[in-house]
Structure 1
Amino acid sequence: MECSRHFFVGGNWKCNGTLESTDKLVDALNNVLIPSNIEVVFAPTSLHIARAQQKLQHKEIKVAAQNAWVKGNGAYTGEISADMLKDAGLEWVILGHSERRSLCGESSQIVADKTVYCLKQGIKVIVCIGETLEQRESGDTSKVVTEQLGAVAQALGTDVSQWKQIVIAYEPVWAIGTGKVATADQAQEVHQTLRSWLSSNTSAEVAQSTRIIYGGSVSAKNCTELASLPDVDGFLVGGASLKPEFADIIKSGSAKDPSTK
């Protein structure tokens, strides 16, 4: 089976930014030449989404949200619904980030429910999964990440059209914001495990078409090696997405062959 998986690079600004810094970061992105085989999105805070959209002139880059409420509009103080994201012209949202799971107690089932609701509203989803250092050292990496992915898979089933609206972001928690990064072998092993799991539990077509990207202290120094791995289809970038090196990370996928067997 042969299908195309365009390289995907997402920038997660997390709880960072001012109007001034948003203007500077977006101006820099406007000047980045994006190779034709690469898709790019970035996620400012909710307060800065409108400003980023106003400043963004690059047609090949999209603005994303960092989270969405599990239901529609209503008496949910402080939340932002997928209905609102759609109304604001957004196409992407990040769900299930480890910081949401740990700080806000979001379960894999909640992440799956959010994913389903967002997809119904026409919002594409970057679903984050990943293990803690304790779980890795206990040899539970595969168990943890497939259980997290399994909640989404159970909700979506084998509908390829739905899976094509999703990007799976493998982000080992121990590598997020720590300066540590999974080795090439570690990253490839988990990505391959996830793709094999999808093949066995959904379908071979879903496994081959679904993009699985890596996140966790991605930088200009390590992105080229990671991008060359056969089952790494891009990156979800945290701190480095706020720096000029984000352009280098985007371009690291330019040599990636979009045809994967």
Structure 2
Amino acid sequence: MADRCHVVLIGPQGSGKGTQAARIAPRLRLVHVATGDLFRQLMTRDDELAREVRSYYDRGALVPDELTLRVLLQRLDELERESAEAFRGALLDGYPRNRAQAEALDQVLRERRDSIAAVVHLAVPRAVLIERLSGRLICPQCGATYHIRFSPPKTAGQCDRCGSALIQRSDDTPEAIARRLETYEQQTAPLLDYYRARGLVVDIDGNQPIDAVTEAILAALEPRVGDPSRCRSS
């Protein structure tokens, strides 16, 4: 039997991964581990791992897969030390992103006697993704986020919290979004075949109201992670 059972969340930008992860992780007693958040937290520190990651950030280079995995494993180790009995597993958001990362993750999980219980795939039509992403607005002062259609500010173009003028990120234009979605389709989408061959993929229609998506994910995952005895080392 595996010591820890993890769930991988896969979907393109705009599919609602962050929103759903924050909702389902507590209800399944999993810890939401987003690699983007890990890197941001790491940048506030001054240890050896942080300095190594910062050396890539400072020159605008991609962080190597091996280093990204070390950052993730450090967080899993921290969670085990902090609450060994309570830590059942992680909901991985943003990793793996490609086949090489998935294979490396499988290897280290086997060494830890951990396993992947399920891979949740949030499927959303491309046109809907572009609409969701291109309508995002952010406040450059306090970081609040809005959406022109789904969660507009009370006063058009003005932050509800601090009153600052809202802006659109340069990578949230339709052209930039299309490029990001193409990268996802080329690098990350093929992971679904890799995991589907092992019977791990759970396909979820992400083009529904948020509550409906949450309930669909929970219904699919409960039989897989609700009972720890169902999770076996691979």
| Greater RCO, CA 8 A, separation 6+ | 2
TM-score by length of 1: 0.34
TM-score by length of 2: 0.36
